[in-house]
Amino acid sequence: MMFFKNLLVSILTLSCVVKQLFVAAKLPQAEVDVLNQIVKTMGATNWTFDADTACELHEKSDVTELTRNISCILGPDNSTHHISVIEFKRCSLSGVLPPELNQLPNISKVNFAYNYLNGSIPVEWASMQLTFISLNGNRLSGNIPSHLGNIISLTYLSIQANQFSGTVPTQLGKLVNLETLRLSSNRLTGNLPTEFAELKNLTDFRINDNNFNGSIPEFIQNWKQLYRLEIQGSGLKGPIPSSVSLLKNLNQFKISDIDGTNQTFPDLSNSTLLRRLILRNCSISGRIPGYIWGMNNLRVLDLSFNKITGELPNVVPGNLKFIFLTGNLLSGNIPESILPEGSTVDLSYNNFTQPTLEHRACRKKEEFDLNLFRSSSVANNLSGVLPCKTDQTCHRSLRSFHINCGGNNVKENGTTFEGDGEENGGVATYYSNDRWGFSSTGDFADDNNELNKFYVASVKSSDISELFINARIAPLSLTYFGYCLQNGNYVVSLYFAEIQFTNDNTYRSLGRRMFDIYIQDKLVERDFDIEAKASGVLKPVTRKYNATVTDNILQIRFNWAGKGTTGLPERGVYGPLVSAISVVDPNYKPAKKKKIVEIIAGVGSCLIILALGIIGWRYYSRNVLKGSDLQTISFTLKQIKAATNDFDPANKVGEGGFGPVYKACQLQQKEKIMELVDPKLGSEYNKEEAERMIRISLLCTNASPSLRPTMSEAVSMLEGKTAIPDSIPEAGSYSQDLRFKAIRDFRGLNRSQTQHSTSAEDLLYN
Ligand SMILES: *[C@@H]1O[C@H](CO)[C@@H](O)[C@H](O)[C@H]1NC(C)=O
Ligand SMILES: *[C@@H]1O[C@H](CO)[C@@H](O)[C@H](O)[C@H]1NC(C)=O
Ligand SMILES: *[C@@H]1O[C@H](CO)[C@@H](O)[C@H](O)[C@H]1NC(C)=O
Ligand SMILES: *[C@@H]1O[C@H](CO)[C@@H](O)[C@H](O)[C@H]1NC(C)=O
Ligand SMILES: *[C@@H]1O[C@H](CO)[C@@H](O)[C@H](O)[C@H]1NC(C)=O
Ligand SMILES: *[C@@H]1O[C@H](CO)[C@@H](O)[C@H](O)[C@H]1NC(C)=O
Ligand SMILES: *[C@@H]1O[C@H](CO)[C@@H](O)[C@H](O)[C@H]1NC(C)=O
Ligand SMILES: *[C@@H]1O[C@H](CO)[C@@H](O)[C@H](O)[C@H]1NC(C)=O
Ligand SMILES: *[C@@H]1O[C@H](CO)[C@@H](O)[C@H](O)[C@H]1NC(C)=O
Ligand SMILES: *[C@@H]1O[C@H](CO)[C@@H](O)[C@H](O)[C@H]1NC(C)=O
Ligand SMILES: *[C@@H]1O[C@H](CO)[C@@H](O)[C@H](O)[C@H]1NC(C)=O
Ligand SMILES: *[C@@H]1O[C@H](CO)[C@@H](O)[C@H](O)[C@H]1NC(C)=O
């Protein structure tokens, strides 16, 4: 697999530089000189061109997309060339825009996207007959110069992802031939000039990620040719003008994060060509109009974080691939028809009726991706975070959890951060283990990959601790939650490091990431910028917050509100990124070692629990665990408790339980302690639970009565409430006792603060 991937990359690399021969006419020496001056001004130190070959430069790397392309037109004498197109893209040139461009008589298109150019747009360009200017992804700053308004010939103007500030000059309204105007990801303020009403030929208008003021203007109804409209995180407020109903040619319609005004769904019934409809966080109330489900071209429907009510109709959505209804007030049953094969549906954060386990939504999900996290608001909050789980009750209390988001288990400062990197993530993903989990929503737009299910970012670097090498990313919303937590106050530490941008002088360093953070549904950070907070990329930054848990659940939600660049260093890089999470109860101290020594216990009662525990666990494992969701031993314990009348001493069953316990010790000697576990189970059992059981078994068989736990201690340990002590006698009279050897071996293992870290597997192989 890897070999073929490498081979493919090699082939692509070899074939990437495409050279096409053009007509053998010459470029006048004057234009050659100007060209050489231009590349020098732009900061290319070793590029030189000559009259014979300049017009033959047509390079494009399929891998890096680095492009150097010069096209020429033949002059009227049929023997000289004139430069008409210059494209230096993704070259990271670090100079300024060349004023000399105006000395090329027939230049019409310039594309200097993804360089490292600074300064502004030269006034010399104002007198030119340019039709196409793309300056995406540079460091251009200051006001957008008003002299751009003189280049009436322009049909395409894109200055996205720069540092332009101030208001948009009204003069741009004179560019009546404009078809494409992209101003996204700058620092523009004020209102859009009313002169823009005259830009009637616009097909593509994007102003995402700015600081504009005012409402979305009514005059966009003039832009009848509009094919793509993007107003995400622009600063503009709602409502969406009702006149958008006149825009019949819309293919992509993306509006998000417009504050405030309550509104109903805009009438888009005549926009039948819609392919991507995003109306996210637009304060839309009321119902989803029925015609939406009949739009045959619709591929992406994102209506997340509104106040939409009503039920979903029982119709099969034609061509819809992605449906995001996250964060609304939708109710009623989830119609099975909304889950056709191949669909991706996110219904998290809603008010639906909980589906039964037999419902298609709860059955095996190979055919579709579905996220039901908190999709129903019911009395029991636990059922909200554990949708489609048979057991939605807590059997024990947790005081802390530590997650290495998107990575492997990592031990730092004595704490093991559990990795969730094996769960890649994806468009509508829900994951949970028996203590915590995550919900991930969104498709990375414009990454040209509808099948992207790898929502983990990684960096190869030795300059940063392992916790930050991998991080979980999400395009829209990412929630980490812990459940079955003891109610009380917690300290939430969030660990970040920017690992997707570089720290060199290339366009790859120019990305800006911003997202919001909510803890327990309360906004704690708006426009959080990791790189700014850490003063650089590849630098860790930790944020600590106090949080109160009242219903055993803690939730940390990361939200993209349309801010930051979306195409640097590659298309589709944006949104939340988190490296690690730690949640601890600052007042909780794990049980001390000496406590156990003080306890005098009868070996008999301890053994009853043990015997019942192991027998019960084996029975339970065999009959219940197989083929169903993994559950904890505590369930069995509950059964045992009930069966023994909560461990009434009258129910003593004698010494019969000693057998299996002693067998443990024998097996341990042969380093096969896990043989205690029924082999029929395969790997489908909870190794932590098994290990805990065995460890308590060994403790209970302690030859020294003073070291045996009491009944209640043992129960508490089984439930995971109390740490299982390491304290056992060193060498001495008992040193030959296999039972102590086994416990000592456990103690020898490197263990973390939590009770869950040493797996039985470690025991076997250490
Ligand atoms: C310019 O020089 C650099 C370093 O010397 C080299 O990597 C690069 O390929 C050169 N570029 C061209 C166009 O020759
Ligand atoms: C070079 O530019 C011309 C004119 O814009 C275009 O037709 C051609 O495809 C480009 N070639 C490359 C390799 O980008
Ligand atoms: C240039 O070529 C075109 C078409 O081949 C021809 O019509 C025209 O007369 C030529 N002009 C000159 C100056 O030779
Ligand atoms: C190229 O520029 C010359 C000089 O400005 C002009 O006369 C000619 O029409 C231009 N040719 C084209 C095809 O634009
Ligand atoms: C552009 O950046 C260089 C350093 O890379 C700096 O010396 C120069 O002053 C900047 N020019 C402008 C116009 O900002
Ligand atoms: C707009 O587009 C039409 C059709 O492509 C074209 O005829 C017209 O010249 C363009 N410019 C203006 C200002 O209408
Ligand atoms: C934003 O617009 C409002 C009303 O249109 C105005 O009162 C306010 O001064 C504007 N703020 C800025 C920063 O332009
Ligand atoms: C929004 O509008 C709907 C319908 O007009 C209304 O029922 C709802 O109460 C409004 N919500 C707010 C927050 O104003
Ligand atoms: C949709 O188009 C039809 C036919 O042109 C027209 O009668 C209707 O009013 C339009 N609806 C909207 C909301 O503009
Ligand atoms: C949720 O749905 C139920 C009916 O299923 C309804 O009674 C309740 O008011 C809804 N809650 C909200 C917040 O809309
Ligand atoms: C580990 O300790 C070091 C030194 O005190 C500290 O800088 C770092 O942030 C700690 N790591 C974690 C994950 O808390
Ligand atoms: C968190 O709570 C502790 C104890 O109440 C307090 O000392 C600390 O300042 C709080 N931290 C924050 C960030 O609020």
| Closest ligand to Cα 75 | 4
190 lines ligand 7 (CB under 6 A): yes
Going by alpha carbons, the residue nearest to atom 2 of ligand 6 is 201
- List all residues 6 or more positions away from 136 whose beta carbon is below 8 Å from its beta carbon: 113, 114, 158, 159, 160, 161, 162, 182, 567
Distance 432 CA to ligand 11 centre (A): 27
Q: What whole-number distance in Å separates Cα of residue 717 and Cα of residue 82?
A: 84
pLDDT for res 393: 84
pLDDT for res 316: 78
pLDDT for res 673: 39
| Closest ligand to Cα 138 | 5
Distance 80 CA to ligand 4 centre (A): 12
Distance 84 CA to ligand 4 centre (A): 10
Q: What whole-number distance in Å separates Cα of residue 685 and Cα of residue 680?
A: 10
Q: What's the average pLDDT block by block, 10 residues per block, for the chain (766 residues)?
A: 45 39 75 97 95 94 94 94 98 98 98 98 97 98 98 98 98 98 98 97 98 96 97 96 97 94 95 97 97 95 98 88 96 93 94 93 86 85 88 88 97 96 90 95 85 88 92 97 96 98 96 98 98 97 97 97 97 97 92 45 40 44 36 35 36 31 40 41 46 52 45 51 44 37 38 30 27
Can you read off the two tokens belonging to residue 499?
A: 């690992």
pLDDT for res 20: 40
pLDDT for res 14: 37
Going by alpha carbons, the residue nearest to atom 1 of ligand 12 is 546
18 lines ligand 2 (CB under 6 A): yes
Q: What whole-number distance in Å separates Cα of residue 123 and Cα of residue 109?
A: 17
pLDDT for res 613: 44
Sign of CA dihedral 377, 379, 381, 383: negative
| Closest ligand to Cα 213 | 7
331 lines ligand 10 (CB under 6 A): yes
Ligand 5 mutation pick, 41, 42, 94, 118, max ligand atoms within 8 A of CB: 118
Q: What whole-number distance in Å separates Cα of residue 49 and Cα of residue 27?
A: 10
Distance 178 CA to ligand 7 centre (A): 28
pLDDT for res 180: 98
Distance 244 CA to ligand 8 centre (A): 21
pLDDT for res 341: 87
pLDDT for res 724: 53
**Complete DSSP assignment for 121-190:** --GGGGGS--SEEE--SS--EEEPPGGGGG-TT-SEEE--SSEEEEEPPGGGGG-TT-SEEE--SSEEEE
**36 SS3 class:** helix
The CA-based dihedral angle spanning residues 726, 729, 731, 737, taken in that order and rounded to the nearest 10 degrees: -90
CA of 77, closest atom in ligand 3: 13
| Closest ligand to Cα 44 | 1
Going by alpha carbons, the residue nearest to atom 4 of ligand 1 is 46
pLDDT for res 196: 98
Q: What whole-number distance in Å separates Cα of residue 752 and Cα of residue 592?
A: 15
CA of 377, closest atom in ligand 10: 1
**193 SS3 class:** coil
- Give the residue from 266, 344, 345, 274 showing the smallest Cα distance to 306: 266
Specify which residues 232 forms β-bridges with. Answer: 256
Distance 80 CA to ligand 3 centre (A): 12
pLDDT for res 762: 28
CA of 546, closest atom in ligand 12: 1
285 lines ligand 8 (CB under 6 A): yes
pLDDT for res 696: 52
